[in-house]
Chain A
Amino acid sequence: MKKNNLKAWLYLLPAILFLGAFMVYPLIDVLVYSFEEGFNFASQEYYGVGTYNYSYILHDTYFIQALKNTFILVIITVPISTGLALLISVALNSIKPLRNIFQTVFFLPYVTNTLAVGLVFMVLFKKTAYSDGLINLLINAFGFSSVDFIDGPYWAKILVTCIYTIWIVMPFKILILTSALAGVDEQYYKAAKVDGTSKWRIFRKITLPMISPMIFYLVITGFIGAFKAYADEVALFGTDLNAAGMNTLVGYVYDMLYGDSGGYPSFASAAALVLFTIVLTITVINLMVSKKKVHY
């Protein structure tokens, strides 16, 4: 038994070494940086130790804006994208002809580059002095005046970001859910049919519980993914997200790390840890809820 253990550790050693050097050590380092005030990479010096970094970022309006943006994004996109994906998957699962074509269409965004999609969205939503995007032409057709979604009011920019995020995360969710639905044994549906179960009740009482592990997986990864949003915002609004007022937590960390030639690694570390704490809390809450609701 002991000998086996030794062997097992030996086999795990390469992975442990790599993970230790490239994951655990940096994580601890970030924790340390976040308490070292004014740490400088080049000189490896700092002024003192304390919670000043945290207090600074929590009073930074850019950080508060990023926090707000990220939370709005998470709260809107995760439920809507998961719900829509569920709806589409159930619909896909219940049709026979054209299913493959639709599946391909729904999966297309997944294989498309984020930046390319961002460009398309900009063309769709933008408004310049000379021309309107397609969406604005539609709005005009209904008799309303054009809105600049890319460089205009806050709500418009958030709206476009949410639509964009939902659109880009849905294919993966649809893929997972359609395969989960296909995995539900036909006999349960037959049994329910013989018992005269209504379609809605079949969905609520049989389909949902049967695929609940997958839904739960999508909700957790959806939350984590949405909290880590950054590339999508860059694709839509360019790299200066603070100026656009559309920064996210990850964007804030990035800006702090590389902005102003040299950056503020201490502030970046503190912000990263705040993000980490939020994600951890949400995930733990998710896990606790799932214990009651998810059937394995």
Chain B
Amino acid sequence: MKVVLEHLTKKFPNRNKKIKEDVVAVSDFTFEIPDGKLIGLLGPSGCGKSTTLNLISGLEAPTSGRIYFGEEDVTDISPENRDIGLVFQNYALYPHLTVEQNIIFPLQNLKGDKKMTKQQMKEKALETAKLVQIDPYMSRKPSELSGGQQQRVAIARALVKLPKVLLLDEPLSNLDARLRLQTREEIRRIQRETGITTIFVTHDQEEAMSISDEIVVMKDGLLQQIGKPQAVYDHPVNMFVAKFLGTPPINIFRGEIKSKQLYIGDDRICETDHGDMQVYVGIRPEGVILKKGGSLVCRLNRVEVMGRDTSACCSNDNAVSESIRFIIPSDEMTGDEGDLVAFDIKPSKLHLFDAETENVII
């Protein structure tokens, strides 16, 4: 089932009643989520991603705009009739019910010809529990499970009705780092096996990039960019997206284009087709080659060994942030702390942004 959002806007009245102006949580969202894909809604906290999820689930009504599931307009349909599964950030498992009772709960609400016998419910619950690999713990209470197991129960409960759309709100934020890695692959696997269109919200770009078919980057209620993770990473539309994606983050320098040449300070970086202007230059950490006589000269402050790679922490007077970081393969790393080192920059890892609008210059 594809999900289409059309000019979706959600405004909340301001908490401070003296301010008449509404808070715009989601502003004019238009995009289409293809059938059977896993989509990551990504953005810093307060960017409206959870609101978007609530709008899709029907827990919140949009101020304006329409939502379609497939061809059907569901904007005015209440959540229980939208055929969705929702997994909450802290799972919201009913603490007084066992795992099995939790998973069966949605089935017991079914009415009319969808109504199931007790035996059918049990079988269905077991089947779903097996899918998320929680079946050995059916008779436990949620408090007797680890965070990761609780997460699986929550997903099982959301999946048991075979929803058209599965929505996950920050599904991994309550797990520790190792479980997070494991669980995100689990989510990926479950999504592949069921083929249910899945939308999940996260503020962790790594999480979103690693398992999503497509990511939607948001900021302040505005859609920034939508696309395949690699495509968004390689071709960010503005400086915000470039900075938000990637760990370590992209390095930003103040630069200038003068007579078809790009300069950072006095260093001439490369040739360009653009006219004279002030720009921001974004260089991905992995986008440089350490080379004597390279175009960009920085002071090497510290070398962090990470095994396969080395992280070179440098400083440059024209960098926006105090410290900049490049990833260099360990065997290519030379130079001592305090030295001036020179880098050549890979053209594909270099992004130019207009100094005023911060939009990318192609």
User: Which A residues form the contact surface with B (CB < 8 A)?
Assistant: 185, 187-188, 190-198, 201, 205-206, 209-210, 212, 295
A193/B59 in contact, CB under 8 A: yes
| Contact digits for B114-142, partner A, Cβ 8 Å, 1 yes 0 no | 00000000000000000000000000000
A191/B92 in contact, CB under 8 A: yes
Q: Name the A residues within 8 Å of B57 (CB-CB).
A: 194
Q: Name the B residues within 8 Å of A194 (CB-CB).
A: 57-59, 79-80, 84-86
Q: Name the A residues within 8 Å of B17 (CB-CB).
A: none
B90 part of interface (Cβ distance < 8 Å): yes
A191/B109 in contact, CB under 8 A: no
In the complex formed, the residue of B with least CB distance to A185 is B92
Number of A-B residue pairs at CB separation under 8 A: 54
Contact of B95 among A192, A197, A201, A295 (CB under 8 A): A295
- Tell me how far the C-beta of B260 lies from the nearest C-beta in chain A, rounded to whole angstroms: 58
Known: A196-B80, A206-B94, A295-B95. A190 touches B88 (CB 8 A): yes
- Tell me how far the C-beta of B264 lies from the nearest C-beta in chain A, rounded to whole angstroms: 49
- Tell me how far the C-beta of A40 lies from the nearest C-beta in chain B, rounded to whole angstroms: 57
Known: A194-B79, A195-B157. 14 other contacts (CB 8 A): A187-B92, A188-B94, A190-B59, A193-B59, A194-B59, A194-B80, A194-B84, A195-B80, A195-B109, A196-B109, A197-B109, A205-B94, A205-B105, A212-B96
In the complex formed, the residue of A with least CB distance to B79 is A194
Query: Considering only CB atoms and an 8 Å cut-off, how many residues of chain B contact the other chain?
Result: 23
Which one of A196, A198, A210 has the highest number of Cβ atoms from chain B below 10 Å of its Cβ? A196
Q: Name the A residues within 8 Å of B92 (CB-CB).
A: 185, 187-188, 190-191
Can you list 15 contacts pairing A with B, beta carbon distance less than 8 Å? Answer: A187-B88, A190-B86, A191-B92, A193-B80, A194-B57, A194-B84, A194-B85, A195-B105, A195-B106, A195-B109, A195-B157, A196-B110, A197-B80, A210-B96, A295-B95
Known: A196-B109, A197-B109. A191 touches B96 (CB 8 A): no
| Contact digits for B75-117, partner A, Cβ 8 Å, 1 yes 0 no | 0000111001110101010111100000001101110000000
- 5 A-B pairs with least C-beta separation: A196-B80, A295-B96, A187-B92, A195-B106, A209-B96
Complex-state Cα separation, A212 to B215, whole angstroms: 44
Within 8 A of A (CB), among B48-73: 57-59
Q: Name the B residues within 8 Å of A193 (CB-CB).
A: 59, 79-80
B10 part of interface (Cβ distance < 8 Å): no
Complex-state Cα separation, A190 to B79, whole angstroms: 9
Q: Name the B residues within 8 Å of A195 (CB-CB).
A: 80, 105-106, 109, 157, 161
In the complex formed, the residue of A with least CB distance to B158 is A194
Q: Name the B residues within 8 Å of A188 (CB-CB).
A: 92, 94
Q: Name the A residues within 8 Å of B110 (CB-CB).
A: 196
A201/B86 in contact, CB under 8 A: no
